Amino acid sequence: MNKAFFWIFFLLFCFGSSAYAQHPIDNIVELLNHRELTTAKKLLSENLVHNAEDMDSRLLLGSLTDYFGDSEDAIKIWSEGLRNTEDDYPFYLNIGEIRFRQGIKGMNVKFRKGKVELLNQADSAKDADYKFSMLKLASEAFEKAHILHPYEDEPLIHLGKLHDHLKNYDKSMVFWAKLTEMYPSHEEYWVRLGNAALNLHHYDKAIFSFNHALELNPNYSPAYDGLSDYWLALGNIEQAELATQQGAFYNWLPSFCEMEYSKENYRIYELINFGGEKMDSKGKEKAVRSLLQDKSPTSTKFLATVCYYHEVHGELEKAIVRELVKRDKFSLYMLIALARHTEYLCTIDHVLKELMQVRPAGMLDLLVELLEKDQLEEETIRIAEYMGELGNEQAVLPLIDLLNPTFQSSLENGHLGEIKARQRAALALANFPNAYVIKTLESGLGNPEISAYCAASLYKITLDEKYLKVVALKRKEPTIAFFLKKIETKEAQKLAKKLD
């Protein structure tokens, strides 16, 4: 379960813990953040038995139920909370979203725990009828949500997308037009209005909408895609091809990297992605090596983008990062942005290793932001370790928050990676020898998931051998062994050999 989802859900719809909740919502959210989903669901159900008017618990219980794959039960939970008041808004919105999903995917698909399950294939006519009926129910739910909160954008967005899907462009155009009136600076709504107008052959309205979107954001690729369709509809192939190239180029650029389309920049883009017009398999590497020789800001942006997509691997990517870390302040800024935005952990690892050599401003903030990404079972990108090495006292609270010394998981979802991250946090805290850290680590000695790590860290801080006795209960623990080898006492060295 994505724990960020639950925090967002909580902030959007739960404006405070229910006064009569048997189990406080804050405690349940903490369970969700640690993926204790079954326990959280049980407590939420008990809250509703205790008080059927506990809307916070009802909202979260419905979301959990849907996550476990029981969509109809989730809708039932929310429907039973409807009271013909403004508080019905999030219920109708959630009901509509599930019905919309069912209307798009049909009855042959089921969503469970973030994965898609294919069911026995239903008759195509039956599936089509099912999709149509679900979309009708979705539309009704979104309409009711819109009536309750006419100036909220979510119901209007869903209604616009729903009618676009049904090809009811005369209806969808009404919703997109309303959204452009409510949020005139949102380029997405102008593009969607333009697409609906184009499908209705309202060409003047379409071109105006696409151009207005580009006035708001000259790099917005969907607007160029719309322009391409517009020029194709008018039979202007040359203009359509130009708009297609512009759309592809701007769509490729990550959000932190701004560049203008030009023939030369598009040529480099094609070399990196396709090997150029001749589809030369070695074209990408040649282009990258050429960019390494070019010290311009434009080459820095291209190289950062190559790494963002992990377009090259191994030594060549490492060479890019080594080059960027020594160029200038702008290239350091791009590396920090790259680490913050890319989804590739190996790329983040390469970047952090080099950044730790120069430790630019904002390094700790970056590490804190990346801390939750470092929760794999078999490998680490050493975020907690780097935070300890920086020696900045501001790292203590994030590390203690991750350590969470008294929490013990049920491992219902097998999240061993989270436990290992907490163990690394315990070792990193050894870099901050103060009374608060010592007290926190001592509180973790009774927790079998992290006790040995807390004890190892306490020994480094105090050199009190009583902590080594706790560590010695482990038969083999290479991570602690490596940690102890850095402590220059006979006792630490002896125990390190045993644990290695």
Gap between the Cα atoms of 296 and 292, Å rounded: 10
Name the residue type at position 367.
L
Gap between the Cα atoms of 309 and 42, Å rounded: 41
User: Strand pairing partners for 110?
Assistant: 117
378-408 pLDDT, tens per residue? 788 999 999 999 999 999 999 999 999 988 8
Is residue 441 assigned to a domain? yes
Q: Cite the DSSP H helix spans in 342-395.
A: 345-358, 363-370, 383-390
Does the pTM of the predicted model rise above 0.75? yes
- Please report the DSSP string for 289-311 in residue order: HHHHH--SHHHHHHHHHHHHTT-
Residue 181 tokens, joined:
């009136």
> Could you identify the residue written with the tokens 């925090």?
7
pLDDT, position 377: 79
- Cβ within 8 Å of residue 26, ≥6 positions away: 17
Burial pattern 414-437, b for ≥16 Cβ within 10 A else e, equals ebeebbbbbbbbbbbbbbbeeeeb
Give the residue from 99, 107, 90 showing the smallest Cα distance to 148: 90
Residue 251: φ, ψ to 5°:
-70, -30
Gap between the Cα atoms of 472 and 452, Å rounded: 8
Is residue 420 assigned to a domain? yes
- Please report the DSSP string for 478-493 in residue order: HHHHHHHHTS-SHHHH
pLDDT, position 163: 98
| Rg of the chain on CA atoms, in Å | 28
Is residue 34 assigned to a domain? no
Gap between the Cα atoms of 388 and 424, Å rounded: 10
Is residue 79 assigned to a domain? no
User: Strand pairing partners for 125?
Assistant: none
Is residue 228 assigned to a domain? no
Name the residue type at position 217.
N
Q: How many CB atoms lie within 10 A of CB 326?
A: 11
Q: Cite the DSSP H helix spans in 51-152.
A: 55-67, 71-79, 89-105, 124-148
Q: Is residue 339 within a helix (H) or strand (E), and if so which, with residue range? A: helix 329-341
Gap between the Cα atoms of 121 and 105, Å rounded: 12
Residues of the chain with pLDDT under 70: 1-21, 276-281, 410-414
Q: Is residue 109 within a helix (H) or strand (E), and if so which, with residue range? A: strand 109-112
Cα–Cα distances in angstroms (integers) from residue 143 to residues 59, 99, 155, 161, 180, in the given order: 19, 13, 7, 13, 18
Q: What angle do helix axes 153-165 and 187-199 make, rounded to 10 degrees?
A: 30
CB 346 within 8 A of CB 310: yes
Is residue 492 assigned to a domain? yes
Give the residue from 434, 424, 436, 337 showing the smallest Cα distance to 384: 424
- Cβ within 8 Å of residue 225, ≥6 positions away: 243, 244, 247
CB 363 within 8 A of CB 332: no
> How many domains in the chain?
1
Q: How many CB atoms lie within 10 A of CB 276?
A: 16
Q: Which domain holds residue 487?
A: 399-407+414-500
Is residue 358 assigned to a domain? no
273-309 pLDDT, tens per residue? 987 555 566 888 899 999 999 999 999 999 999 999 9
Is residue 222 assigned to a domain? no
For residue 112, give the 3-state DSSP assignment. strand
